[in-house]
């Protein structure tokens, strides 16, 4: 009897402690970005540091009075070979789903920086070459800046799951708390009643056990009360469900993008200058969703293969992507920053790779600037198939957002 009562009491205490502790630790159920992506982060940090140092070495050769020394030329050869290796590593990172679009762009920039350094090395072996030096330094600085941006997007992932940052999140969190209070009080009450019953009605010398077939009044009570609670919750949540899921309640805004889920990535298509999705000037990205703070945003959700689930945890938005269906999804955010898009439906062996970056821009001008820059970079030339020393670079499609 004492053992069972202690077990029930301990269970109630642990459950209560978990409910109380969770709101005070913002990240106890979030993945550790650096732990999950430690190897890829090490690559980005190496590129950030080494490309900056290499740019400084090349810059120092701008005003040479004659040909570069053998030691300087060997340093440039070493840097070029290192850049070619980084292009291969970045291609592998993109294939593994790590910031696919950014990794592809960095791969292109690393390969082109390698070519620029090779051209500078050839020119400096003959004599002063300010133009070649300037081109190589520019390529290396561009590579370093993009590596820094990629590092920031992983190490600064935005807000925790605790704080709601959208109108839907506040409605859903309110429902969660209400249900948690009801079920929590019921759980603790039942555990407490069992402990009291074990101690009060336990076996004692001289006490005769009494058999009871049951009580109709008690059975009616424990059927009617839970039923009434369920009916109350069903009616109480209708407004939230209608606001989030009913197309008839959506604001009259054009879709921001078309999001297509496929094994194992999110492909996103934004309208180009003509404002229409599905035309030749569209912007294509992979695992990179952008929208503006404070504005209602609608995307068209599709699936290319199997069932997926579009899940924005900080915004409390979840919608299945069903093959053959074009599903509108409404959401907003009242906080700018970087957040996360996940697939919440087991969709195959690579399900764990379906993580995308979500960027909420502070203003429409900031979003428009990103869109214009991305459209310009979409036709950034791909890296060569191999470098002069035969170091094969991973293949890259024509645009950074098409895999």
Per-residue pLDDT tens over the stretch 247-296 = 888 888 889 999 999 988 899 999 988 888 888 888 988 888 999 998 99
Token code pair at residue 12: 């109630």
Pair 287, 257: CB distance under 8 Å: no
Per-residue pLDDT tens over the stretch 136-150 = 888 888 888 888 877
Angle between helices 167-200 and 2-21 (to 10 degrees): 160
Kindly tell me the sign of the dihedral angle through the C-alpha atoms of 363, 366, 367, 368: positive
**Residue in this structure with the two tokens 């504005």, named with its chain if needed:** 295
Q: Within 10 Å of residue 293's Cβ, how many Cβ atoms?
A: 19
Q: What is the mean pLDDT of the chain?
A: 80
Pair 328, 300: CB distance under 8 Å: yes
Distances (CA, A) of 170 to 233, 291, 300, 312: 17, 19, 23, 14
Per-residue pLDDT tens over the stretch 24-39 = 555 544 444 555 567 7
The pLDDT value recorded for residue 242 is: 86
Quick check: 390 pLDDT over 70?
no
Residue 201 binned pLDDT confidence (cut-offs 50, 70, 90): confident
Quick check: 387 pLDDT over 50?
no
């Amino acid at each position: 009897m004492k053992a069972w009562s202690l077990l029930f009491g301990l269970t109630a205490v642990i459950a209560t402690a978990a409910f109380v502790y969770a709101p005070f630790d913002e990240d106890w159920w979030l993945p550790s970005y650096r732990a999950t992506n430690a190897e890829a982060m090490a690559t980005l940090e190496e590129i950030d540091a080494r490309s900056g140092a290499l740019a400084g070495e090349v810059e120092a050769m701008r005003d040479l009075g004659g040909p570069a020394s053998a030691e300087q030329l060997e340093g440039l050869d070493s840097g070029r070979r290192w850049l070619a290796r980084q292009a291969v590593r970045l291609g592998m990172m993109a294939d593994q789903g790590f910031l696919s679009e950014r990794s592809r762009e960095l791969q292109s920039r690393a390969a082109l920086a390698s070519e620029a350094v090779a051209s500078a090395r050839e020119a400096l072996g003959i004599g002063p070459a300010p133009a070649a030096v300037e081109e190589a330094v520019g390529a290396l600085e561009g590579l370093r800046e993009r590596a820094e941006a990629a590092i920031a997007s992983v190490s600064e992932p935005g807000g925790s799951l605790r704080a709601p940052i959208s109108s839907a999140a506040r409605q859903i969190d309110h429902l969660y708390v209400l249900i948690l209070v009801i079920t929590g009080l019921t759980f603790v009450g039942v555990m407490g009643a069992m402990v009291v019953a074990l101690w009060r009605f336990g076996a004692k010398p001289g006490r005769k056990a009494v058999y009871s077939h049951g009580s109709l009044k008690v059975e009616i009570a424990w059927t009617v009360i839970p039923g009434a609670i369920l009916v109350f919750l069903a009616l109480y949540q209708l407004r939230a469900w209608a606001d989030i899921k009913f197309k008839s309640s959506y604001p009259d805004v054009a879709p921001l993008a078309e999001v297509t889920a496929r094994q194992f990535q999110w492909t996103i298509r934004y309208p180009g200058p003509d404002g229409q999705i599905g035309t030749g000037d569209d912007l294509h990205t992979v695992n990179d969703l952008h929208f503006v703070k404070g504005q209602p945003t609608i995307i068209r959700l599709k699936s290319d293969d199997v069932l997926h689930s579009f899940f924005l945890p900080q915004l409390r938005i979840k919608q299945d992507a069903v093959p053959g269906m074009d599903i509108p999804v409404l959401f907003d955010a009242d906080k700018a920053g970087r957040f996360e898009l996940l697939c919440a439906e087991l969709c195959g062996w690579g399900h764990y790779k379906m993580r995308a970056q979500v960027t909420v821009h502070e203003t429409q001008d900031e979003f428009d600037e990103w869109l214009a820059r991305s459209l310009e970079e979409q036709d950034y030339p791909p890296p060569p198939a191999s470098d002069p020393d035969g170091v094969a670079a991973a293949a890259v499609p024509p645009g950074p957002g098409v895999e």
